Amino acid sequence: MTGSRQLPSAARAIVGGDRRALARAISAIENGDPAAGPILKALYSRTRQVPVVGFTGPLGVGKSSLINLLVARLRDQGRTVAVVAVDPSSPFSGGSVLGDRVRFERRADDTGVFFRSMASRGAAGGVAAATLETARLLDAAGFDVVFVETVGSGQVDVAIREIASTSIVVLVPHLGDEVQTMKAGLFEIADVFCVNKTDLPGAELAKKDLADLVALGPSASGWAPAIVGTSTTSPTGVDELWSAVEAHERFLDTSGERSAGERNRLAAEIVGLVRDRVGRDLTRELSQDPSLRRLLDRVVARTLDPRTAAERLFQDVHRGP
Amino acid sequence: MVARALRDAGMEVIYAGLRQTPEEIVRAALEEDVDLIGLSILSGAHMALIPRVLVLLKRQKTGNVPVFAGGIIPDEDARRLKAAGVRAIFGPGASLEQIVTTAQKLARHGA
């Protein structure tokens, strides 16, 4: 390929299909390792905006099983797929047990599938930013579709909106689940609702309740979330689920939402990167720079308040070094 | 139990599940870019499976990832596995503390 000679060697290896180089670059992103910078910079222009499909929902609703079935379906069509499973790190030890791999099935020699677990760790901007950059890397590495699975609670799920082009919220028929969905803020996230385990009683009711909620009005973009029933024990609805994803991807293109959304997301990403950088630098300088340490001393001694100190710091930053 | 102890010691454990083939194990090690591989084998097939893992790791150029094992492994087999490159072997009597300490040491110096 022309131009690939100018790429850093790690970036060249990733584009060339070297899975070990890809895995190491993802580790660098996770760890906040500066080595990730040159690779991400070099590969950005090679991203094609492939579909990034987010799966979120409470524990035990069958997200992994659905992903297995969809991956098998896409592989049958000859499409390559990367799966990123995001787990929170323990706030106590910083450790974690990443168990999604257990349920992931595929042929051991199939190089058209890549599975990676991610934890929050030390990545700048948190796990959401790391996942976004990882999805981009997988795009540049040539995968046709990227799946991102998150455990159903907290910030990461809402952040899926910033990462995925299509977000699937997976639920099971269960009394009150729909209400919980609203509370958890998952309703605003969903481009597609998947009611899994339709073999359980109450599935039709759950779908109807969701339909009633959807009927309250489409989102600001004009997209009314699709509602699909699936079962993974005797696979049903999987084709319909993928059709719903494709319909949303088409909507993004025809409505102009993809480019509009992309512009907003990139603006937020740039601001986030600057904020992280400035934050890190200031934190370091507050403990090292003598004049900043004196400023901090005064706040500690109650002779200066935090807001005034921040305003002085801000003015310093704006004036530059 | 080992996975939980390692997590509590601040490690990220990719739990790969039971009855994995050597091919699946080395593939997981590559994709997850791990610092250390722990194998638990109770089936008696350790002399077939563990050397195969070591060979496959070398073949995909991740042979520098340290491997440790646990299970019911006779002393003679343990000696041969260590000679083949397994860095540590734990029998049924090993304490979690021992395993965690060894894992930390291997992860730090192994790669």
Residue B107 phi/psi, 5-degree rounding, is: -65, -35
Residues A223 and A315 in one domain: no
Please, which residues have CB within 8 angstroms of residue A122's CB and are 6 or more apart in sequence?
Answer: A30, A31, A32
Task: Kindly report the CATH number that applies to the domain delimited by B2-109.
Answer: 3.40.50.280
Q: How big is the CA angle at A93 (ends A89 and A97), to the nearest 5 degrees?
A: 45
Residues A80 and A196 in one domain: yes
Is B14 within 8 Å of A98 when comparing Cβ atoms? yes
Residue listed under structure tokens 């087999």: B77
Domain membership flag for residue A2:
no
pLDDT of the residue at B111? 45
In terms of phi and psi (left: phi > 0; alpha: psi -120 to 50; beta: otherwise), the region of A247 is alpha
Q: What is the pLDDT of residues A2-15, one digit of tens each?
A: 455 578 899 999 99
Q: Which of A168, A227, A170, A232 is nearest to A197 (CA)?
A: A232
Rounded CA separation B51/B85 (Å): 9
Collapsing DSSP to helix, strand or coil, A81 comes out as strand
Residues A108 and A75 in one domain: yes
pLDDT band at A94 (very low <50, low <70, confident <90, very high): low
In chain B, which residue's Cα lies nearest the Cα of A83?
Answer: B31
Residues A64 and A158 in one domain: yes
Residues A150 and A229 in one domain: yes
Chain B residues close to A95, C-beta within 8 Å:
6-13
| Contact of A105 with B21, CB cutoff 8 Å | no
When divided into structural domains, chain A yields a total of 2
Residues A168 and A57 in one domain: yes
Domain stop point among A223, A255, A287: A255
Residues A55 and A177 in one domain: yes
In chain A, which residue's Cα lies nearest the Cα of B24?
Answer: A108
Listing DSSP states for B19-55 in one string gives S--HHHHHHHHHHTT-S-EEEEE-SS-HHHHHHHHHH
Q: What is the pLDDT of residues B66-77, one digit of tens each?
A: 999 999 999 999
Residues A137 and A238 in one domain: yes
Structural domain of A176: 47-255
| Contact of A7 with A15, CB cutoff 8 Å | yes
Domain membership flag for residue A261:
no
Rounded CA separation A231/A69 (Å): 10
pTM, entire model: 0.87
Q: Which of A177, A176, A157, A179 is nearest to A168 (CA)?
A: A157
Residues A189 and A121 in one domain: yes
Domain stop point among A199, A221, A255: A255
Q: What is the CATH number of the domain that holds A113?
A: 3.40.50.300
Domain stop point among A234, A255, A276: A255
Residues A273 and A239 in one domain: no
Is A101 within 8 Å of B10 when comparing Cβ atoms? no
Please, which residues have CB within 8 angstroms of residue A99's CB and are 6 or more apart in sequence?
Answer: A87, B15, B17
Q: Which two tokens stand for residue B19?
A: 């009855």
Interface of B with A (CB under 8 A): 3-4, 6-17, 21, 23-24, 27-28, 30-33, 60-62
Q: Which of B25, B32, B60 is the best mutation test for A, with the most CBs of A within 10 A?
A: B32
Domain membership flag for residue A67:
yes
Hey, what amino acid is at A267? A
Which H, E and C letters describe A146-204, residue by residue? EEEEECCCCHHHHHHHHHCCEEEEEECCCCCHHHHHHHCCHHHHCCEEEECCCCCCCHH
Residues A151 and A109 in one domain: yes
Q: What is the pLDDT of residues A261-313, one digit of tens each?
A: 888 889 988 998 888 888 888 888 888 889 889 999 999 999 999 999 999 98
Domain membership flag for residue A37:
no
Q: What is the pLDDT of residues B14-60, one digit of tens each?
A: 888 887 889 999 999 999 999 999 999 888 889 989 999 999 999 98
Q: What is the pLDDT of residues A55-82, one digit of tens each?
A: 988 777 888 899 999 999 999 999 999 9
Domain membership flag for residue A1:
no
